[in-house]
């Protein structure tokens, strides 16, 4: 597997080395992975204040020790069916990079599993599924003993819709 080649194909990722530690979590029976360096903390689910007239995947806002951060419902974002909250449900607070700096955001997941060290040769490019599946958010597919992990490009997940809003703000609107 030629790694530099894949990196070149996926310019969004640049030459970023994909091998490394990933936080894996469950979402509708599928296993996903997040680069551990993007993860700030994992908190149990708390009351989320709904913000009216926002896209469905924006669950609302939470109070993270005095800081108000938005929470994204990853199930809704990926078009998966809604699930009841369990005691396993949690919010992964991630830090995404934007043009202006970094932005903290919570993402609602069904359950976090473990931190996995995934080697470069275990990672494959996302296969093309055709028009039905948007692979924009996928950094790659990790093949480990416990199964297949979908490695998310969290910056892309969170920025696709949200960042333009942010930029509007910085223009003073």
Partner 1 sequence: MTDPESLLDDIASDIMVADIEDLPGLSRIYEKLEKMAAQSKDHGILPNALTACAELIKKIILNEVPDKNSSWKVINEALTVIQGIVRDGHPSEAAVFPAELGLAPVGSQSIGAVSETMPEEEPPENSIINLAGADASLTSDFINEAREHLASAEQNLMDLETGSDYDGAINAIFRSFHTIKGAAGFLDLKPILVVAHESETLLDLGRKGTVHIEGALADVAFDSIDVLRRLMDGAEEALAKGGEFNGAKIISSILKTLRQIIKDPSVIPVRAVRERVGDKLIDMGVVSQDKIDEALEKRKDPEERIGETLVKQGLVPAKTVAKALREQQQVRRDKSTGATVKEMVKIDTERLDRLVDTIGELVIAESMVGQDEELLGNASHKVARNISHLNKITRELQEMGMAMRLVPVRATFQKLARAVRDLTRKSGKAVELKMHGEDTEVDRSIVELIGDPLMHMIRNSVDHGIETTEERSKTGKPAIGTVNLRAYHKGGNIHFAIEDDGRGLDKAKITAKAVERGLIEPGREMTDQEIYTLIFLPGFSTAAKVTEVSGRGVGMDVVKRNVEAMRGSIEITSEAGQGSNFIMKLPLTLAIIDGMLVDIEDEKYIIPTLSVVESLSLTPDMISTVYGRGELINLRGELLPLVRINQLFGLYPNGATDKQESTVVVVEENTRKIGLVVDKLLGQRQTVIKSLGGTFARQKWISGGAILSNGNIGLIIDIGGVISLASEIDARGNDGDYNHASDPVANRSVREFTTAEATASEPEMAGV
Mapped onto helix, strand or coil, the DSSP state of residue 108 is: strand
Mapped onto helix, strand or coil, the DSSP state of residue 40 is: strand
Q: Please, which residue, 104 or 113, has the CB nearer to partner 1?
A: 104
In the complex, minimum distance from the CB of residue 11 to partner 1, in angstroms, rounded to a whole number? 25
> How many Cβ atoms from other residues are within 10 Å of residue 25's Cβ?
25
Q: Please, which residue, 5 or 52, has the CB nearer to partner 1?
A: 52
Smallest Cα–Cα separation from 26: which of 119, 90, 116?
Answer: 90
Q: DSSP assignment, residue 49?
A: B
In the complex, minimum distance from the CB of residue 34 to partner 1, in angstroms, rounded to a whole number? 19
Options 4, 11, 53, 87; binder of partner 1; rule CB under 8 A: 53
Options 50, 115, 121, 146; binder of partner 1; rule CB under 8 A: 50
Residue 122 phi/psi, 5-degree rounding, is -85, -5
Q: Please, which residue, 42 or 69, has the CB nearer to partner 1?
A: 69
Spatial CB neighbours of 1, under 8 Å, sequence gap ≥ 6 = 120, 121, 123, 124
Q: Please, which residue, 110 or 162, has the CB nearer to partner 1?
A: 162
Options 27, 34, 39, 58; binder of partner 1; rule CB under 8 A: 58
Q: Please, which residue, 92 or 150, has the CB nearer to partner 1?
A: 92
Question: Could you tell me how many helices (H) and strands (E) the chain has, helices first?
Answer: 3, 11
Q: How far is CA 27 from the centre of its chain?
A: 11
Owner of token pair 């998310």: 152
Site for partner 1 in 73-132 (CB under 8 A): 98, 100, 103, 105
Options 29, 47, 81, 84; binder of partner 1; rule CB under 8 A: 47
Q: Does 65 bind partner 1 (CB under 8 A)?
A: yes
Residue 85 phi/psi, 5-degree rounding, is -80, 140
Residues that bind partner 1 (CB under 8 A): 46-47, 49-54, 58, 61-63, 65-70, 98, 100, 103, 105, 162, 165-170, 172-173
């Amino acid at each position: 597997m030629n790694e530099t080649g894949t990196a070149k194909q996926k310019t969004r990722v640049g030459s970023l080395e994909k091998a490394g530690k990933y936080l894996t979590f469950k979402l509708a029976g599928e296993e996903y992975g997040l680069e551990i360096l993007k993860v700030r903390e994992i908190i149990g689910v708390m009351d989320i204040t709904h913000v009216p007239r926002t896209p469905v995947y924006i669950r609302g806002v939470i109070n993270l020790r005095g800081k108000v951060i938005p929470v994204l419902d990853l199930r809704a974002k990926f078009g998966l069916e809604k699930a009841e909250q369990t005691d396993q449900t949690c919010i992964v607070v991630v830090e995404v990079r934007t043009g202006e700096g970094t932005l903290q955001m919570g993402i609602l997941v069904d359950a976090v599993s473990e931190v996995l060290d995934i080697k470069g040769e275990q990672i494959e490019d996302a296969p093309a599924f055709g028009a039905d599946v948007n692979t924009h958010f996928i950094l790659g597919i990790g093949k480990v003993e416990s199964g297949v992990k979908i490695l998310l490009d969290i910056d892309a997940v969170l920025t696709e819709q949200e960042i333009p809003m942010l930029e509007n703000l910085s223009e003073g609107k």
